[in-house]
Structure 1
Amino acid sequence: MSRSTTPAVRRRSRASATVAVAVGLSAAVALSGCTPPSPQSTDPAEWELTAQTDAPSGDIDSFTWASYAEPYSLDYAYAFDYADNQVLANVCESLLRLNPDYTLSPGLAESFSHPTPTTWVYEIRDGVTFHDGTTMTAADVVASMSRHLDPAVGSSWFSVYQNVTSIEQTGDSEVTVTEATPDSQFNLAMGGSAGVVESAATLAEKGADYGNSTGGVNCTGPFSFGGWKSGESITLERYDGYWDAENAARSGEVTFLFMADPNARSNALKSGEVDGGWMIPADAVPQLRSSDQGDMLFGLNTAVSSLIVSNLDGPLGDLRVRQALLMALDRQGIVDAALKGYGTPTNALTTSSVWVGASDQSVAAAFDGLEEYPYDLDAARKLVEEAGATGEEITYVTAPISSDFAVYAQATAAAAKSIGLKATIETVTPSAYTALFSDPSAREGVDLFYTSWYLSSPDPLEMFSVLRTGEFSNYGEWSDAAFDAVVTEAIAIDDPAARSEKTAEAQRIANEQLPWLPLYEAPTTLFLGKRITGVAPSVAFLYAPWAASIGAR
């Protein structure tokens, strides 16, 4: 949902188009004797962003890729996680294409128009075939999009479609989407999983098996689904009938190996056993930077790592306590300990990379002069005392998904204790942690949990849309009338520069009210082995066919 990115647990029905990542400890612990981490004296790690690696010298027969987890599903309606989307992006395509710089360009829709404030019209590209050789039609587009509105499907992308009243074929190659109210965000989401097109016949034939290891998928991308060995790997095969010759796959095959153990994953990359991988374990980054087996690369990211405040009925319901906790967290120390310095503390819930089309004035208004919340234990203790919260207890929930996330749990509990609160770390299974993002009952009694929340479209408003009153991913049920009004007004504005003025207001309100506590932002991490090249290091790998451009060095 990323920095030196870590695994996400972001599968939830009727959620917004953004991401959550979780990590934690191996045992539940009440940190009654913990002390807060002291500010680190190490210099911050230095890195440079790479926009594009060298072009391949030629095609390659195959390459292997390390994945931190097995996908939950390749059904685009449920592809809401890093592990799912990094595979799916190479097999299934959307109406629009999300580029590595987070701009949008034509995809399966060769053009679109916006003839009225509540209608979007898509001209569907001719000459595109599915992997079974059948021709894509406007009817396939209607069937694919309509699934997000079907309660029986329970799409994770329902929020993108929540204003949609109809999806109709209005010409031989034309599809019209009508909405109840103007919604600038709908079209922006068509570059992600919400805009994927699948064969209507395949959807009907596969039924409940669609997208799993038995049913697979039948889309239009540069690779076709080859096979899924549960617990082991997924193999994709080059599709020779791909419509976009310029972006055809350079490799005959790519195999994703499921490697949940971060040490095993790191060792496989360092030894050259595996050719590459996204989301490199933080401990391995310094070692891979000096490796002779390939290149450690850093790319554009859209994620902010934060603590989600999921209970406003407890002590964190008082803004002063939220402010105090953030001020008690040595965020640079957390970056140094968890990411080996490859990140930057932030006070905003968005990165500047998603402010595509925004005016310079709006970007300045969104980021300049935000409340800093400096590391200050004395001031933080006073805020807790003023709130009358001294001695009150908070519960932080985590899971044993990745060892570096123990830092977040321990640092948060120690910070809480240092300012007069009691803190308990509760460790649950990874699947139970996933439920925090989908099941309100799983969050009962939970005050805080960690997320690395990436945006799926080139607009920061996506982040603030999920924090409106009543939204599915507003996990703490935070409500601010002024914030809601600003976001709702912004959604109806088509022009990105004008819209960004209102979005800047939303960012400033979130910075002041702290519904989530922002920790840091960090680059996307990628290791590219010495056999291969051609990929763009960018978080757009979640929605763009990144593996197609990889060939031989």
Structure 2
Amino acid sequence: MTRTRTLRAVVLGAATLLAVGALTACSSPSGDDAGKDDKNIDWELTTETAAPKGDIDEITWANYSEPYSLDYAYAFDYSDNQVLANVCESLLRLNPDFTLTPSLAESFDHPTPLTWVYTVRDGVTFHDGTPLTADDVVASLSRHLDPAVGSSWYSVYQNVASIEKTGDREVTVTMKSPDSQFNLSMGGSAGVIESAKTLAEKGADYGNSTGGVNCTGPFSLTEWKSGESITLTRYDDYWDEGLKAKSKSFEFVFMGDSTARVNALKSGSVDGSWMIPIEAVPTLRASGKGDALFAPSTAVGDIVISNLDGPLGDVRVRKALLMAIDRQGMLDAAARGVGEVTDVFTSENVWGEASDAARTAAFDDVEHYGYDVAAAKKLIEEAGVEGETLTYVTAPIGNDFAVISQAVSAAAQSIGLKVKVESVSPAAYTALFSDPSAREGVDMFYTSWYLSSPDALEMYSVLRTGEFSNYGGWSNPEFDEVVNQAIATDDPKARSELTAKAQQIANAELPWLPLSEGPIPLFMGERVTGMQPSMAFLYYPWAATLGAR
């Protein structure tokens, strides 16, 4: 799926939001948990925590930023979705193990290549007590097609011809052409269902601090103090007995200052936080106030090649630059060794239904770009671009951004290229992802690109010719044909083999330069337990699972 990245999605990724390869535990090659700056951190993935002993009156959770919006049409960043996932629900549910199961749609069918039919679950009520109907589903999904709304999830719907109520509890979505990805996106914000009445009544205030939301999740939104906090209250009439909230109240406090957030976790004044600073892990572990954990992710850190008219238009130059970057050294400096260097744009987490042959093709039968400055220099000589200048744009956002920009600059210079590093404001950096004019004269910039569905094909749909997020205008007819064929393929194994071919083509041509993947660090305080740590916290009601330790 193509979607505009805002600052929150980009900024937090350089070191802390890189995805891990699989759900099995792994550790850094040279770990030391003493907290010294020159040592890497011992780490392993955690996918389960102990079951809670019982309910708890209240939980306080630190959010690194106030949500931009709780309107599902605009909620596509970490601060927004970690709240929204516990209040609103989608037709399908993206689970912590990256599988999709029924949610507000108790079932779905695919009777023809162009239609997806959803049966709306009976007995579900919104937080105001009104029942969920097929009309609510039609109204909620149709907003993404409305240009006046300007949904951030429009690309999921760009192939939709119609959304219609076709029975008392039935909604049919008709596509313009076969599209396997539409249904796979119904477990995220693109599939959230809100009361049609609420949408009409709230209008432009829907989803903000005054209008709020009225959904079906295990918590209801009861108070939003702008600039301070959001308070959720357990919804006692919630339909899913297995996910009823274990806390009566759940408060998100906004703590943009990372030092203050870490101090609050150390003192126990807050019960946890997603995306804690990597450098704080040893200190938090030593505090005795809870557990610093690492959750599986779907994100990969990449250098976006945004100008193919200059030296980077030659694939030899792109390969040379990647080979000249000391990616392991960069990972050690930026993330204390937490994560893994990768040569592809997806993590294995989103290949869950792939065939063994597809996995082998996607991760083994690809070119591996080892750190080799001498070989990189030869490629630069062959390309005849020695002495040419590249412009790299960064922003004063954090140490990780500084490490990455320095590593890329040093790599380019080591193979005979000149680099102009431009530091822009965070707002100007955001514009790189949304405004083509902001990328004029820019050769490279960094992103941490996460996927919102359990299918690697989402990543490669982004890189087709003409896609909004294909920032450098890369084009490969064979790649486009393979991706389009995969989108039209329903069988997961057959689709995965086509996706693997797309991954091989992208790996060979490097429209972006893959750097590394790694987990999401979080802290769970000594009072609480019960969650299944996972990047699915963006769409799964994880807060409902937390109870008394």
TM-score range, shorter chain: over 0.9
**5+ residue gaps, structure 1:** 2-7, 13-17, 25-38
SS of residue matched to 2:98:
coil
Letter in 2 for 1:301: S
2:18 corresponds in structure 1 to none
2:439 corresponds in structure 1 to 443
SS of residue matched to 2:475:
coil
Letter in 1 for 2:366: L
User: For each residue in 1:33-83, what CA deviation from the matched residue of structure 2 results, as whole angstroms up to 9, or x when unmatched?
Assistant: xxxxxx999786442222111111111111111222221111111111111
Please report how far the alpha carbon of residue 19 of structure 1 lies from its aligned counterpart in structure 2 after TM superposition.
5.9
Aligned mate of 1:97, from 73, 76, 93: 93
Please report how far the alpha carbon of residue 251 of structure 1 lies from its aligned counterpart in structure 2 after TM superposition.
0.9
**Is the contact between residue 23 and residue 399 of structure 1 (CA under 8 Å) also seen in structure 2?**
no
> Where do 1:46-445 residues align within 5 Å?
46-445=42-441
The farther-off stretch of 45-54 and 476-485 is: 45-54
- Percent same amino acid at aligned positions? 70
The farther-off stretch of 419-428 and 148-157 is: 419-428
Please report how far the alpha carbon of residue 400 of structure 1 lies from its aligned counterpart in structure 2 after TM superposition.
2.7
Q: Which runs of 4+ in 1 moved over 6 A?
A: 39-43
Q: Distance in 1 between matches of 2:487 and 2:331?
A: 34
TM-score (norm 1): 0.92
**Is the contact between residue 525 and residue 537 of structure 1 (CA under 8 Å) also seen in structure 2?**
no
Q: Distance in 2 between matches of 1:486 and 1:9?
A: 24
**Is the contact between residue 235 and residue 254 of structure 1 (CA under 8 Å) also seen in structure 2?**
yes
**Is the contact between residue 365 and residue 504 of structure 2 (CA under 8 Å) also seen in structure 1?**
no
Q: Distance in 2 between matches of 1:92 and 1:430?
A: 30
Are 1:485 and 2:477 an aligned pair? no
Q: Distance in 1 between matches of 2:88 and 2:13?
A: 29
SS of residue matched to 2:470:
coil
**Is the contact between residue 11 and residue 156 of structure 1 (CA under 8 Å) also seen in structure 2?**
no
**Is the contact between residue 298 and residue 526 of structure 1 (CA under 8 Å) also seen in structure 2?**
yes
2:543 corresponds in structure 1 to 547
Are 1:10 and 2:11 an aligned pair? no
Letter in 1 for 2:260: A
**Is the contact between residue 327 and residue 376 of structure 1 (CA under 8 Å) also seen in structure 2?**
yes
**Is the contact between residue 120 and residue 171 of structure 2 (CA under 8 Å) also seen in structure 1?**
yes
Q: Distance in 2 between matches of 1:133 and 1:399?
A: 47
Please report how far the alpha carbon of residue 524 of structure 1 lies from its aligned counterpart in structure 2 after TM superposition.
2.0
Letter in 2 for 1:335: L
Q: Aligned residue pairs: how many?
A: 528
**Is the contact between residue 251 and residue 551 of structure 1 (CA under 8 Å) also seen in structure 2?**
yes
The farther-off stretch of 173-182 and 441-450 is: 441-450
Please report how far the alpha carbon of residue 305 of structure 1 lies from its aligned counterpart in structure 2 after TM superposition.
0.9
**5+ residue gaps, structure 2:** 15-28, 32-37
Q: Distance in 1 between matches of 2:319 and 2:417?
A: 13
1:536 corresponds in structure 2 to 532
SS of residue matched to 1:177:
strand
SS of residue matched to 1:133:
coil
SS of residue matched to 1:327:
helix
Q: Distance in 2 between matches of 1:291 and 1:196?
A: 39
User: For each residue in 1:322-343, what CA deviation from the matched residue of structure 2 results, as whole angstroms up to 9, or x when unmatched?
Assistant: 1111111111111111111111
**Is the contact between residue 344 and residue 521 of structure 1 (CA under 8 Å) also seen in structure 2?**
yes
**Is the contact between residue 278 and residue 521 of structure 2 (CA under 8 Å) also seen in structure 1?**
no
Letter in 2 for 1:161: Y
**Is the contact between residue 318 and residue 510 of structure 2 (CA under 8 Å) also seen in structure 1?**
yes
Q: 1:40 to 1:432 in 2, by over 3 A?
A: farther
**Is the contact between residue 299 and residue 517 of structure 2 (CA under 8 Å) also seen in structure 1?**
yes
Please report how far the alpha carbon of residue 22 of structure 1 lies from its aligned counterpart in structure 2 after TM superposition.
5.6
SS of residue matched to 1:61:
strand
